[in-house]
């Protein structure tokens, strides 16, 4: 009898244990399903603002997280993985490498795709450092880096397009997924408000995802961009003689080196402190490459006509892609140049011949000269600021896809080759939500004395859209009688005429008359109220940061030229395109 009781009890315990196990398993399964459902919903929400939703959801399917920040970072990482895959595994790349005619283009691709990886990894790391409630503090920088990664990929494609359209199409096909992922990453950052609303995240629901609504100048000293340190501000205001350099370069033997390239070898890798190189008066025929690891370099000359870096590398004679023709190429972040000249003397016969290529983020150029012919100044990507500079050339002599502001600059059209026309700007924005665009503020656009006699034969134009979303704003600028009344000319018929964004506002001089401009829908006419507010969209918000010019925009429309020798002010805040 006792044995039967024990047997029954054992059976009951076993049954109960089984029921508990089943219930527990069902509970775990339900919890797992709920977690998967939550994660799936989060993925769909994060991908909602993107242009390529299927690509987006596929890139995030391996993540089990429902945290929007981690999902967005997963999207960044997926883009990095895809670009690395392209560099490592592409059979087409291997085939192109065997073709000597395309080898230089492939070298460009390897370099710029490495830049793209850096920009994406910087975005991944920076986003990881911040709580989502404070994302507004870094949002613009991440958008700029993601845009820079897109520009780098397009530069790779363009390097093949310079010679062979078929090869360019092949490269475009190879990078299709990477570009889609990159555009999705940018779309996520612009869609943060809607993502937060759908996922009930109140701390970032009302965040501004447009650069226009974020203040990026220092609270304590609003005369300078926030990313320019106090010590750098003092350096820009100081006389060269009062600055103690790390290294001196001189042709006469009075410095440590007679070459800028030699001096740059002293810059520590991953440098975090300002490294000042004083380049004494002289003409230095060198090809200078400031590599991406050489951050925080400052070149100071004895004046832009006294200290000149020159070369004559060009597409035609040197058999190189435009990207590699630069006399000076800056790949490093936080670069500053002051009182120095950059030139490319290849002439119009050399065709594309760059004097300066500025690729690294947060570049500043003060009282510099850039002299060349076609493609003089390549403002390649990310944030660049040019103040009190002289820029000369013939065709597309200010070009690229950076967020570049040119303030108080003299822009001079030179005499081109026979049957050539001249174009000042060729802006290269191609992707929606990307941040590129040029602003010319309080500049002077004039002609060189040799150009004036031929201006009616070899016409000059303000602008042509290099890419379909080209963005350029010319504001409060003196335009002399050298610009054709049409003002604009297409790069290719129909390309960018309706999709670009060009604005002229408050300009002066005989060339500033707009009644004869071409009738493109991409050329926008804005009224005073629009100019005053510059609400979110393709236009910049304008604020003058000098106390002398504070007040309403009505009182600033007749701004006078500033004596740049006196000081660096007023700084211009153009928050769509730079600060």
List, by residue number, the catalytic residues: 396
Of residues 214, 233, 231, the one with CA closest to residue 223: 233
Cross-sheet strand order for the sheet of 377-379: 288-290, 328-330, 356-358, 377-379, 395-400, 422-427, 460-463
**How many whole angstroms separate alpha carbon 287 and alpha carbon 328?**
6
Phi first, then psi, for residue 511 (nearest 5°) are: -80, -5
CA atoms within 13 A on the CB side of 390: 18
Is the Cβ–Cβ distance between 408 and 442 less than 8 Å? Answer: yes
Task: For residue 211, give both structure tokens.
Answer: 């650069």
Written as six digits, the tokens of 302 are 């004895």
CA dist., res. 302 & res. 305, Å (int)? 8
Pick the closest to residue 561 from 477, 474, 473, 448 (CA basis). 477
State the Cα–Cα distance between residues 228 and 23, nearest whole angstrom.
62
Task: Provide φ and ψ at 145, rounded to 5°.
Answer: -65, -40
Q: Would you call the peptide bond into 570 cis, given omega within 30 degrees of 0 as the criterion? A: yes
Q: Which of 199, 435, 207, 82 is nearest to 74 (CA)?
A: 82
Is 407 strand, coil or helix?
Answer: strand
Q: Which pair of structure tokens corresponds to residue 292? A: 């991406």
- Tokens for 461, please give them: 């134009």
Whole-number Å distance between alpha carbons of 206 and 194: 9
């Amino acid at each position: 009898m006792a044995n039967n009781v024990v047997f029954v009890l054992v059976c009951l315990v076993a049954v109960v244990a089984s029921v508990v196990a089943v219930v527990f398993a069902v509970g775990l399964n339900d919890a797992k399903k709920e977690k998967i459902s939550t994660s799936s919903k989060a993925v769909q929400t994060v991908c909602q603002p993107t242009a390529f939703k299927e690509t987006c959801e596929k890139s995030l399917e391996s993540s089990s997280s429902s945290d929007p920040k981690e999902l967005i970072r997963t999207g960044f990482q997926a883009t990095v993985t895809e670009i690395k895959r392209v560099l490592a595994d592409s059979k087409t790349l291997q085939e192109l490498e065997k073709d000597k005619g395309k080898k230089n283009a492939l070298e460009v691709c390897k370099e710029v795709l490495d830049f793209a990886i850096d920009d994406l990894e910087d975005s991944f790391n920076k986003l990881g450092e911040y709580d989502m409630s404070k994302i507004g503090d870094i949002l613009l920088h991440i958008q700029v880096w993601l845009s820079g990664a897109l520009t780098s990929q397009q530069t790779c494609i363009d390097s093949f397009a310079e010679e062979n359209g078929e090869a360019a199409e092949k490269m475009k096909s190879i990078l299709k997924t990477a570009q889609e992922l990159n555009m999705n990453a940018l779309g996520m950052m612009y869609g943060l408000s809607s993502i937060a609303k759908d996922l009930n995240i109140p701390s970032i629901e009302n965040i501004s995802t447009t650069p226009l609504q974020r203040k990026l100048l220092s609270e304590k000293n609003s005369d300078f961009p926030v990313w320019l340190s106090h010590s750098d501000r003092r350096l820009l205001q100081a006389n060269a003689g009062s600055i103690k350099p790390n290294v001196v370069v001189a042709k006469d033997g009075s410095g440590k080196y007679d070459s800028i390239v030699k001096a740059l070898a002293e810059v520590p890798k991953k440098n975090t402190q300002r490294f000042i190189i004083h380049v004494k008066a002289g003409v230095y025929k060198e090809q200078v490459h400031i590599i991406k690891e050489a951050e925080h370099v400052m070149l100071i000359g004895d004046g832009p006509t006294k200290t000149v870096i020159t070369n004559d590398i060009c597409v035609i004679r040197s058999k190189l892609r435009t990207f590699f023709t630069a006399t000076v190429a800056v790949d490093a972040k936080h670069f500053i140049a002051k009182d120095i000249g950059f030139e490319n003397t290849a002439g119009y016969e050399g065709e594309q011949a760059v004097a300066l290529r500025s690729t690294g983020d947060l570049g500043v150029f003060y009282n510099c000269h850039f002299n060349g012919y076609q493609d003089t100044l390549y403002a390649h990507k990310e944030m660049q600021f040019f103040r009190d500079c002289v820029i000369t050339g013939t065709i597309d002599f200010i070009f690229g896809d950076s967020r570049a502001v040119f303030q108080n600059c003299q822009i001079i059209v030179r005499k081109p080759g026979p049957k050539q026309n001249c174009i000042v700007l060729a802006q290269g924005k191609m992707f929606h939500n990307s941040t590129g665009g040029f602003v010319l503020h309080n500049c002077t656009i004039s002609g060189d004395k040799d150009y004036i006699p031929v201006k009616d034969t070899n016409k000059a134009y303000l602008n042509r859209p290099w890419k379909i979303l080209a963005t350029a704003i010319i504001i409060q600028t003196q335009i002399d009688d050298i610009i054709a009344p049409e003002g604009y000319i297409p790069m290719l018929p129909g390309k960018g005429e309706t999709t670009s964004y060009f604005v002229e506002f408050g300009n002066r001089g005989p060339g500033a008359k707009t009644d004869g401009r071409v009738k493109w829908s991409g050329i926008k006419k804005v009224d005073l109220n629009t100019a005053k507010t510059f609400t979110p969209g393709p236009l910049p918000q304008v604020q003058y940061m000098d106390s002398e010019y504070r007040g309403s925009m009505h009182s600033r429309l007749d701004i006078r030229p500033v004596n740049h020798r006196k000081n660096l002010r007023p700084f211009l805040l153009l928050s769509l395109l730079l600060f």
